Amino acid sequence: MTPALILTRPAPQAEAFAAEITARWVGPLRTILSPLLQIVPVPITVDLTQVKGVILTSAHGVAASRAATLPRGLPAWCVGEKTAQLASEAGFDVIAGPGDATRLADKIISRRPDGPLVHLHGVHTRGGVSERLAAAGIGCIDVIGYDQVAQPLSDAAFEALQGGAPVILPLFSPRTATILAGQAPFAAPVHVVVMSTAVQNAAAAINLRSLSVAATPDAGAMIAATLKRLRVMAEQGL
């Protein structure tokens, strides 16, 4: 039976991930896009003209920055390479981080930049960035720039998860894993690939055939882990 790859990220990121997988995988595969989060902009009314730097822990934070009153060329501390690329295109002077918010905060603390900084993030966020910086004596303003509204699985995704063919599910965030778990149980043999142990913990409530953790918390490692799982499944005749 042809396995299904269900991608639950918002559409632009899911489409990019699907393109990377299909370009590298030669076996049979059915790809289903079923975003479990809808990104909704939140108006930014805080005056940010005096901040000395911005912290961006997602691509959506970069999008939110366009609606904020921020000086051009401002230093931008970015969670990873993809966010850094988008921030550079938006006119920021970027510093790329190690791939997760906690280690990004540690990097900022080690560099001791002048504050205040502003962390543009969603309603649902992890890592306690501003709290960690404040504890280290670095001023940081928390600003919500978008909401991540939970969505149900698409009909195609739900049908695949209740069918007999194997399903591979890359999960990038604890919130997405929690939303997915809330729509379980699933009848299909489900193989999950997660970005971090935090996502792994959130996915624990899902009935799984296998679970793989990416080597590092970034899109490249998630692609590699997903392809590895597909190869293992093919070798086992799943």
Tokens (6 digits) for 26: 């030669």
Question: What pLDDT score was predicted for residue 186?
Answer: 96
> By C-alpha distance, which of 69, 165, 90 is closest to 78?
90
Considering the domain architecture, whether residues 32 and 112 belong to the same structural domain is answered as no
Highest mean pLDDT among 94-98, 130-134, 167-171: 167-171
Report the C-alpha gap between 48 and 69 in whole angstroms.
6
Question: What pLDDT score was predicted for residue 29?
Answer: 96
Considering the domain architecture, whether residues 140 and 47 belong to the same structural domain is answered as yes
> By C-alpha distance, which of 122, 138, 150 is closest to 44?
122
> By C-alpha distance, which of 221, 216, 171, 163 is closest to 192?
171
Domain that holds residue 86: 39-148
Considering the domain architecture, whether residues 50 and 115 belong to the same structural domain is answered as yes
Considering the domain architecture, whether residues 196 and 207 belong to the same structural domain is answered as yes
Q: What is the DSSP letter of 154?
A: P
- Do residues 61 and 118 make contact, with C-beta atoms less than 8 angstroms apart? no
Considering the domain architecture, whether residues 101 and 169 belong to the same structural domain is answered as no
Looking at the chain, the whole-number percentage of residues with pLDDT higher than 70 is: 100
* Residue where a domain terminates, one of 129, 148, 167: 148
Considering the domain architecture, whether residues 165 and 83 belong to the same structural domain is answered as no
- Band (pLDDT 50/70/90 cuts) for residue 181 is very high
Considering the domain architecture, whether residues 78 and 128 belong to the same structural domain is answered as yes
Mean pLDDT score, 122-137:
90
- Band (pLDDT 50/70/90 cuts) for residue 185 is very high
Question: What pLDDT score was predicted for residue 54?
Answer: 97
Question: What pLDDT score was predicted for residue 237?
Answer: 77
Considering the domain architecture, whether residues 62 and 144 belong to the same structural domain is answered as yes
Instruction: Write the pLDDT tens digit of every residue in 52-103.
Output: 999 999 999 999 998 887 877 899 999 988 899 999 999 999 999 988 888 8
Mean pLDDT score, 24-35:
96
User: Is the model more confident about 216 or about 158?
Assistant: 158
User: Is the model more confident about 155 or about 13?
Assistant: 155
Considering the domain architecture, whether residues 21 and 68 belong to the same structural domain is answered as no
- Orientation of helix 11-24 relative to helix 219-235, angle to 10°: 50
**Which CATH number is 63's domain given?**
3.40.50.10090
CA 52 → CA 92, 117, 120, distances in Å? 12, 6, 13
Q: Mean pLDDT score of the chain, rounded to an integer?
A: 93
CA 96 → CA 76, 81, 84, 185, distances in Å? 8, 6, 6, 39
Tokens (6 digits) for 138: 């670095």
Does the pLDDT value for residue 17 go beyond 80? yes
Considering the domain architecture, whether residues 156 and 184 belong to the same structural domain is answered as yes
Considering the domain architecture, whether residues 193 and 212 belong to the same structural domain is answered as yes
What's the total number of domains in the chain?
Answer: 2
Single pTM value for the model: 0.87
Considering the domain architecture, whether residues 127 and 198 belong to the same structural domain is answered as no
Question: What pLDDT score was predicted for residue 12?
Answer: 86
Report the C-alpha gap between 44 and 50 in whole angstroms.
15
CA 131 → CA 118, 127, 139, 198, distances in Å? 12, 9, 9, 19
Instruction: Write the pLDDT tens digit of every residue in 217-231.
Output: 888 999 999 999 999
* Residue where a domain terminates, one of 131, 148, 165: 148
* Residue where a domain terminates, one of 148, 182, 206: 148
Question: What pLDDT score was predicted for residue 102?
Answer: 87
